[in-house]
Structure 1
Amino acid sequence: MDCLDVRRQLQAAADCDALVWEHLQTCSDCARAFGFDAGFGQALAAALAVPVPVDLAAQLIAAQRRAAAAAPLRRRRAPRWLALAAAAALALALGIVQWRDAHSLPAQATAHVTAEHEAAALQARQPLPEARIEAAFDAHGLHLLAAPPSGIAYLANCSVGGSDGLHMVMDSSAGPVSVLSLRGRKVDACVDFHRDGLVGRIVPLADGALVMLAREDRDFDGIEAAWRNALEGPRTAARGTL
């Protein structure tokens, strides 16, 4: 067995055959090499022979928990797509709110009475004959059950938000009041509102809605009571007298 075979066996296996040991007795070079390798292996084994605590795993887990508790909380950034989706949802919600507001009865009624082609209506001052008012309501499909309120100086057919009605202007102590009688426009309850510098009130009345608009609402109660009396009869007039 030559030196190369001996050194291969010494590197490959811990247990060597008798021929290797015989070679080591006669070859000082291989003996020195074997002695160095054996010493290095023994030193490495001694260095790695560190006793492992029985509860090492529990200690490591506890250390990790302490480190996590002591570390400052980091704010997580939302994914870009999530931020974009939130922005789109907000824009959609705002768009829906704006659309509903623009198509609400307060918006539609205010837009009608403030339109340029209706500007002359507020300038009318001469009261109309009662017979003309009654005829206009009959043509509109509403029969007056009592005399209409006094002081109606303007009367014309109109369409507000797809609902046909009558546009009137009445005199009051606070100035002209625009009154819209909209047949078939259902509302659930009385609503007061402010829009575009005007005050308004919507009243469910006579199978439809009555809308009042003016600079001040000082006489709204009396006007409402007078129209309830005319359209629904004296027993339903409730909130004041004109």
Structure 2
Amino acid sequence: MNCLDFRRRLLADPFCDDEELLAHEETCPDCAPFARETRAQEIALRNLLQEVTPPEGLAERIQLAARYEHRVESKRRWWYAAAASMLLTIGVSLFSVWHTIDERSDLSLAQSVLNHIDDESNHLREAQPVSNGRLKFVFDRFDAELAGDLGQVNFAAECPMRHRTGVHLVMPGKMGPITVFFMPGEDTDGVLPIVSDRFQGEITPTAWGSIAVVGESGERLDGMGEALADAVRWPANAGELASALFERRLSLGPRVAQQQDR
């Protein structure tokens, strides 16, 4: 599949789960950000549609107009059929869209981590440590408890990862900033490598999901994932809480969700 075909198909259905389409997205550095931006715009549009409230009595007025036009000019019936069909389609779409948006994504967990770092690369420049109160606030959203010292943390927030949310940290390293993702409910069969032209790291399985630790190429990360995982106690239902928080972020819309993270 070439880039032109990929973009045409993506614009027709931003959440298409076709294997060929997803394979091109994973391997093409130009189309991957285009796909993320297209899906973000689609979610924003659907957020606006969800907020639309039809005027009171709209359905009755449409039915009355349809009956009148039927008597006057039968050739115009199809206009009202089209309007009714569109209203029905919007209603069904709004009811089901939030349960299908991210489930259609088959991107690998490692690629999703790299995409998230790329999307929020501005946080890599954070240089001032966050307060202990900020750390507690972020982990409290998952009913998680700090059981040890994480070290210096320059950024901490709840962030979406595929179809759940997790905790996104940025910490200082010797070669540059180190990104950490606590991902409750994201189970893996073993340690997964993360490699790109700039970054290196790994995803380590835990009892509650997995943790990703990613640094600049050449950064020594041995044992860091295990140490950070041991420093936080998670509830038994951590994965369910992460899924519920993700659904709530979708219902609020991206701007409101980001404001609540601050």
Could you state the TM-score of these two structures normalised by the residue count of structure 1?
0.51
* Residues 187 and 96 of structure 1: CA distance in aligned 2, closer, same or farther (over 3 Å): farther
* 1:153-201 deviation digits (Å, cap 9, x = unpaired): 0011111111211111000112101111111111121122313532121
Q: Per-residue deviation at 1:126?
A: 0.9
Match of 1:44 in 2: none
The separation in 2 between residues aligned to 1:155 and 1:136, in whole angstroms, is 7
* 1:45-99 deviation digits (Å, cap 9, x = unpaired): xxxxxxxxxxxxxxxxxxxxxxxxxxxxxxxxxxxxxxxxxxxxxxxx9838827
Match of 1:132 in 2: 134
Q: Within 5 Å, give how 1:110-125 maps onto structure 2.
A: 110-115=114-119, 118-125=120-127
The separation in 2 between residues aligned to 1:187 and 1:217, in whole angstroms, is 25
Give the 3-state SS of the residue equivalent to 2:173 in structure 1: coil
* Residues 196 and 95 of structure 1: CA distance in aligned 2, closer, same or farther (over 3 Å): farther
Aligned residues: 138
* Residues 136 and 97 of structure 1: CA distance in aligned 2, closer, same or farther (over 3 Å): closer
Match of 1:185 in 2: 186
Match of 1:150 in 2: 151
Larger Rg: 1
The gaps in structure 1 that reach 5 residues or longer are 1-92, 234-242
The gaps in structure 2 that reach 5 residues or longer are 1-17, 27-105, 235-262
Tell me the C-alpha RMSD between the 2 structures: 2.7
Query: Which letter does structure 2 place at the counterpart of 1:220?
Result: L
Identity level (%): 23
Match of 1:98 in 2: 23
Match of 2:164 in 1: 163
The separation in 2 between residues aligned to 1:120 and 1:193, in whole angstroms, is 20
Query: Which letter does structure 1 place at the counterpart of 2:111?
Result: A
Could you state the TM-score of these two structures normalised by the residue count of structure 2?
0.47
The structure showing larger relative contact order (alpha-carbon pairs under 8 Å, at least 6 residues apart) is: 2
Query: Which letter does structure 1 place at the counterpart of 2:178?
Result: V
- Given candidates 112, 131, 135, the residue that maps to 1:108 is 112
Match of 1:61 in 2: none
Runs of 4+ in structure 1 displaced over 4 angstroms? 99-102
Q: Per-residue deviation at 1:226?
A: 2.6
Q: Within 5 Å, give how 1:53-68 maps onto structure 2.
A: none
The separation in 2 between residues aligned to 1:229 and 1:173, in whole angstroms, is 22
The answer to whether the Cα contact below 8 Å between 1:206 and 1:232 also exists between their aligned partners in 2 is no
